[in-house]
């Protein structure tokens, strides 16, 4: 990387090189039986150069021919994509606990044994199909730039995804666990999916209309996706946010506090710097319902003449290889502040309503506008404080700027889920469409 | 390259092994509004090694040739682990040994077109919506992906195939006060750069729709009889039905497998669905899949009866059904999984006017905006629609998502039009992204569909 930096500096004003080495093992159990064990050994390099205020970008998996790699970046300068920002000089960052060395010696046999243990607990107690996915990931990231920044971090992950599926479908009650090292999946997690599934076996066809709707942590991403879209520096710059003029205003119920916290190293994937070398920070998006901040990377901060906030990550909605993706504003460490109600209390407070335990079609609909319209996968029907059964053929729809103003209660515990670490949240007066 | 690959698999002590090496050249030109956001070409490469040993089957993807030894060791260990932990050994269906080099003929090879010309064409299409005051921004991208694939198996197959995908597509966004609407626009395919030329009309039409949507009414959520246009009906075919023709999704799901038995009457008599990856000039075209199996047209639904399924070598053996050549990977980072190629509802005899007359009152729903399935239930979005009254198209509506039960919906398809259209840009995300996933249909009528309004 140093050699590449040397030759790149000679032909450009600013240079940034990012490298990622990744080891992945993934194990799947379907119908409580081992199905697949697959591995990946991936590495790659990503190069950004800035010359005369223009951006050049290139990536490769193997740093064999440095001159050709640099030439790809130089060729891309010709198009004239603007880049009027400086690369940061970042050092003396807080030390975070992101890596547990025991992950290196964790074998697939141990993970398979743990999955077998989980299946042995779940399968005899349910008529539903048990599917478990588990694995480990080790990431080694290094970032250097021509402003003398030289940062690196190692990250370790061990995860399980535990699910019980409804017959004739892939709809399931599920819960994830994620740690920095191997940990047994707690009984509490397995009991949650067992109890929730076993209480909802009966197929019911309730009448539609406006009612209470409980989003589980596993479906909160439907709403958060719209929040991320509206508060991204990219959307602000492109005039695609309906709340671009609302900083400091209450836009949601005051029970909502949403923040990004990359420094929280109790969870895996903590980061003291983003993928551009900007220091990360605790960052409130919504505080007690009030819109506090928009989030930026270097590019969009410079476009809007504001400070970068440490949110330039190489991530994309549909995954993708980080070395092939340029940094964009991303909230990769998102949390919703827990409330004061247990899960049982939340259910107990519903006279008539729907639990969204999983969503279909979160990506369709008008995301910038805050609209969502999702199929329930599954939806559970609740009456008089108890789960009555599961609902087929129903949709929940709304606009986050209406729905998120009507929060009845927030769960007191956070769970890792798609797009962040969330509690369940109970909303009032949400539109549910059914065939009845 | 074949020699290196043969040398790697020759070191495998296994019943079967194959290895695929690929280079992937991606050219991207991205506009956000009038600004050029990204431009450049890059090539990446890597290997995927698969092994079957004593009934245990596993795969590993790696990017450095120097990691080959480590990869061989890991994949054999993983196969052994599976072999010890499963009751029924994995088997592969027999396939023909193939030695072939297939480099499809393109109508203008994008490798021969300068990046400046690609940039100018993208800039021209991107500029069409931006001429209008109500358009707040665009996200329009030129994407060219050229995969050069080398496949070798211990059975003796040796296949070289190129897959070239080009497209210009993206989002056109309109805004009025706090109301934001967007519409997808795009052209593309698998047979060369020529099909991107002279497509101004597509961007003009979609700009008009984005502007009209600012005045459209949100749909009221309830059950309706609907006409789906070919784009929507194509997504329905792919999402709601097609995925459950993929045998890997059924293999270990006994309750789904029970419902998807060959011979089951799943749809109405008017419904015929086929997946044909070798249809020339279509987006989903390929000759060999990533297991070295020659692709073949597979009739899935005939007069409403399930008659076929999409298979890998593993699932064809497990189901005792014929191979179809549908095991495909996104690129060198992935082992192949079962994917659709070109799946579509075969056209009937009715005109669009016949369908309108038959519908009488209901909704006409157009252009898909993403979809998802969870087995028997599916949900997908539409970009816009119209209220139909007494067989006549009336005012425009927006915020349309439809949801339903696969089996009920297949039975509720009451009429199939004669105007088949296949899509030009794809993006199926079944664990891996398949940008060549192609689907289509003629206009169809479905009765009693749940439409979720906002």
pLDDT digits (tens, 9 = 90+) for B11-41: 999 999 999 999 999 999 999 999 998 899 9
Nearest to B50 by CA among B4, B88, B92: B92
CA atoms within 13 A on the CB side of A88: 24
Subunit contact B254:A129, Cβ cutoff 8 A = yes
Crossing angle for the helix pair B115-130 and B200-213, nearest 10 degrees? 30
Crossing angle for the helix pair A108-122 and B68-85, nearest 10 degrees? 30
Residues 239-258 of B with CB under 8 A from A: 249, 251-256, 258
Q: Which pTM does this prediction carry?
A: 0.92
Encoded tokens for A122:
């779940």
d(CA B259, CA A195): 27
Contact at 8 Å (CB) between B235 and B404? Answer: no
Distances, alpha carbon A232 to alpha carbons A258, A321, B30, in Å: 14, 21, 18
Cβ contacts (< 8 Å) between B223 and chain A: which residues? 435
Subunit contact A108:B81, Cβ cutoff 8 A = yes
Handedness of CA A230, A234, A235, A239 (dihedral sign): positive
Report the gap between the CA of B363 and the closest CA in chain A (Å).
16
Cβ contacts (< 8 Å) between A328 and chain B: which residues? none
Three-state DSSP at B286 gives coil
According to the model, what pLDDT value does residue A85 have?
95
Subunit contact B221:A116, Cβ cutoff 8 A = no
According to the model, what pLDDT value does residue B453 have?
66
d(CA A47, CA B317): 46
According to the model, what pLDDT value does residue A173 have?
97
Encoded tokens for B196:
């991107």
Subunit contact A39:B78, Cβ cutoff 8 A = yes
Segments of chain B scoring below 50 in pLDDT: none
Instruction: Provide CB contacts within 8 A for B159, sequence distance 6+.
Output: B98, B99, B100, B101, B102, B149, B150, B151, B152, B288, B292
User: φ and ψ at B10, to 5 degrees?
Assistant: -65, -20
Contact at 8 Å (CB) between A183 and A177? Answer: yes
Encoded tokens for B193:
């750069």
- Quote the mean pLDDT of chain A: 95
User: φ and ψ at B260, to 5 degrees?
Assistant: -100, 40
d(CA A161, CA A200): 20
Encoded tokens for B321:
């059904």
d(CA A40, CA A46): 19
Query: Which CATH code is given to the segment(s) A2-196?
Result: 3.30.2290.10
Residues 380-439 of B with CB under 8 A from A: 380-381, 398-401, 403-405, 408, 427, 429, 433
Assign 3-class secondary structure to A302-358: HHCCCCCCCCEECCCCCCCCHHHCCCEECCCCEEECCCCECHHHHHHCCCEEEEECC
Instruction: Provide CB contacts within 8 A for A47, sequence distance 6+.
Output: A4, A8, A15, A16, A17, A18, A56, A57, A58, A59, A69, A70, A73
Subunit contact B450:A36, Cβ cutoff 8 A = no
Subunit contact B372:A30, Cβ cutoff 8 A = no
d(CA B278, CA B331): 20
- A123–B contact, CB cutoff 8 A: no
Domains of chain B (ranges, CATH numbers): 2-215 (3.30.2290.10), 218-452 (no CATH)
Q: Specify the DSSP class assigned to residue A149.
A: -
According to the model, what pLDDT value does residue A169 have?
83
Q: For testing the chain B interface, which of A22, A35, A37, A65 should be mutated: the one with the most B CBs within 10 Å? A: A37
Among candidates A35, A81, A324 on the partner chain, residue whose Cβ is nearest the Cβ of B36: A81
User: φ and ψ at B378, to 5 degrees?
Assistant: -140, 160
Report the gap between the CA of B81 and the closest CA in chain A (Å).
7
According to the model, what pLDDT value does residue A436 have?
64
pLDDT at A7 over 80: yes
d(CA B195, CA B168): 10
For the stretch A217-237, pLDDT in tens is 999 999 999 999 999 999 999
Subunit contact B42:A60, Cβ cutoff 8 A = yes
pLDDT at A64 over 90: no
Grade residue A317 by pLDDT with cuts at 50, 70 and 90.
low
According to the model, what pLDDT value does residue A25 have?
97
Question: What residues are paired with B187 via a beta bridge?
Answer: B168
Subunit contact A57:B38, Cβ cutoff 8 A = yes
**Considering only A68-77, A258-267, B350-359, which range has the smallest mean pLDDT?**
A68-77
User: φ and ψ at A98, to 5 degrees?
Assistant: -115, -5
For chain A, the structural domain boundaries read 2-196, 200-436
**Considering only A50-64, A102-116, A290-304, A401-415, which range has the smallest mean pLDDT?**
A50-64
Contact at 8 Å (CB) between A39 and B74? Answer: yes
According to the model, what pLDDT value does residue B251 have?
93
According to the model, what pLDDT value does residue A318 have?
65
- A108–B contact, CB cutoff 8 A: yes
Cβ contacts (< 8 Å) between A84 and chain B: which residues? none
Handedness of CA A237, A241, A243, A247 (dihedral sign): negative
């Amino acid at each position: 990387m140093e050699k590449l930096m040397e030759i790149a500096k000679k032909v450009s004003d600013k240079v940034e090189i990012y490298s990622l080495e990744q080891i992945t093992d993934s194990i799947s159990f379907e119908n409580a039986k081992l199905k697949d064990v697959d591995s990946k050994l991936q590495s790659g390099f990503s190069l950004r150069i800035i010359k005369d205020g223009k951006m050049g970008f290139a990536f490769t998996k193997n740093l064999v021919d440095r001159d050709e790699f640099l030439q790809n970046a130089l060729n891309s300068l010709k198009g004239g994509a603007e880049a009027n920002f400086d690369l940061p000089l970042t050092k003396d960052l807080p030390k975070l606990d992101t890596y547990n060395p025991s992950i290196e010696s964790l074998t697939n046999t141990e993970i398979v044994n743990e999955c077998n243990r989980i299946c042995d607990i779940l399968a005899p107690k349910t008529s539903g199909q048990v599917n478990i996915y588990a694995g480990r990931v080790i990431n080694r990231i290094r970032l250097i730039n021509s402003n003398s920044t030289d940062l690196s971090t190692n990250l370790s992950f061990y995860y399980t995804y535990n699910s019980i599926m409804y017959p004739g479908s892939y709809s399931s009650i599920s819960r994830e666990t994620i740690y920095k090292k191997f940990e047994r999946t707690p009984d509490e997690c397995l009991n949650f999916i067992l109890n929730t599934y076993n209480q909802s076996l009966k197929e019911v066809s309730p009448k539609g209309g406006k009612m209470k709707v409980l989003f589980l942590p596993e479906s909160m991403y439907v709403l958060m996706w719209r929040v991320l879209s509206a508060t991204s520096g990219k959307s602000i710059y492109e005039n695609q946010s309906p709340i671009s003029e609302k900083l400091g205003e209450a836009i949601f119920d005051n029970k909502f506090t949403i923040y990004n916290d990359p420094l929280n190293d109790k969870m895996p994937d903590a980061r003291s710097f983003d993928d551009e070398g900007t220091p990360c920070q605790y960052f409130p998006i919504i505080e007690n319902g009030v819109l506090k901040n928009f989030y930026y990377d270097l590019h969009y901060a410079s476009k809007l003449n504001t400070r970068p906030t440490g949110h330039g990550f190489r991530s994309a909605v549909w995954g993708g290889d980080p070395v092939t993706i340029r940094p964009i504003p991303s909230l990769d460490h998102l949390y919703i502040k827990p409330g004061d109600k247990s899960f049982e209390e939340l259910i107990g407070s519903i006279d008539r309503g729907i639990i969204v335990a999983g969503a279909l079609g979160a990506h369709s609909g008008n995301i910038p506008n805050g609209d969502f319209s999702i199929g329930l996968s599954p939806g559970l029907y609740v009456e008089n404080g108890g789960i009555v059964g599961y609902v087929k053929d129903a949709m929940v729809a709304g606009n986050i700027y209406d729905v998120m103003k009507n929060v009845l209660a927030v769960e007191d515990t956070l769970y890792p889920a798609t797009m962040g670490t969330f509690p369940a949240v109970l909303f009032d007066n949400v539109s549910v469409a059914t065939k009845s | 390259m074949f020699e290196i690959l043969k040398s790697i698999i020759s070191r495998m002590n296994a019943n079967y092994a194959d290895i695929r090496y690929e280079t992937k050249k991606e050219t991207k030109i991205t506009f956000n509004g009038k600004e050029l956001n990204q431009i450049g070409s890059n090539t990446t490469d890597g290997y995927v090694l698969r092994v079957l040993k004593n009934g245990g089957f596993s795969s590993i993807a790696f990017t450095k040739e120097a990691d080959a030894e480590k990869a061989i060791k890991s994949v054999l260990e993983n196969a052994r682990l599976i072999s010890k932990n499963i009751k029924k050994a994995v088997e592969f269906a027999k396939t023909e040994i193939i030695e072939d080099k297939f480099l499809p003929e393109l109508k203008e090879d994008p490798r021969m077109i300068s990046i400046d010309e690609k940039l100018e064409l993208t800039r021209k299409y991107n500029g069409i919506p931006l001429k209008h005051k109500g358009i707040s921004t665009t996200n329009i991208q030129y994407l060219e992906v050229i995969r050069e694939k080398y496949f070798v198996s211990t059975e003796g197959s040796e296949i070289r195939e190129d897959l070239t995908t080009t497209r210009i597509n993206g989002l056109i966004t309109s805004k009025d006060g706090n109301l934001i609407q967007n519409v997808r626009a795009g052209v593309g395919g698998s047979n060369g750069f020529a099909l991107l030329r002279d497509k101004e009309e597509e961007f003009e039409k979609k700009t008009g729709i984005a502007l009209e949507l600012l005045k459209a009414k949100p749909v009221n959520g309830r059950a309706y009889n609907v006409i789906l246009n070919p784009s929507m009906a194509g997504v329905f075919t792919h999402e709601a039905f097609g995925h459950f023709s993929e045998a890997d999704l059924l293999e270990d799901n006994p309750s789904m497998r029970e419902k998807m038995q060959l011979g089951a009457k799943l749809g109405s008599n008017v419904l015929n669905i086929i997946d044909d990856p070798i249809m020339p000039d279509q987006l989903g075209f390929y000759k060999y899949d990533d297991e070295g199996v020659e692709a073949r047209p597979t009739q899935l639904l005939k007069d409403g009866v399930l008659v076929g399924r999409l298979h890998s070598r593993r699932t064809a053996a497990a189901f005792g059904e014929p191979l179809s050549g549908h095991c495909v990977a996104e690129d060198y980072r992935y082992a192949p999984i079962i994917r659709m190629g070109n799946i579509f509802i075969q056209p009937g005899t009715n005109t669009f006017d016949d369908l309108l007359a038959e519908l009488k009152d209901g909704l006409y729903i157009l252009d898909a905006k993403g979809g998802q399935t969870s087995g028997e239930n599916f949900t997908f979005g539409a970009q816009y629609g119209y209220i139909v009254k007494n067989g006549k198209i009336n005012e425009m509506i927006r915020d349309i998502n439809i949801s339903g039960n696969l089996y009920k919906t297949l039975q509720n398809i009451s009429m199939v039009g004669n105007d088949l259209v296949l899509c030009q840009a794809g993006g199926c995300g079944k664990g891996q992204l398949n940008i060549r996933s192609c689907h289509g249909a003629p206009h169809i009528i479905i009765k009693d569909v749940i439409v979720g309004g906002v």
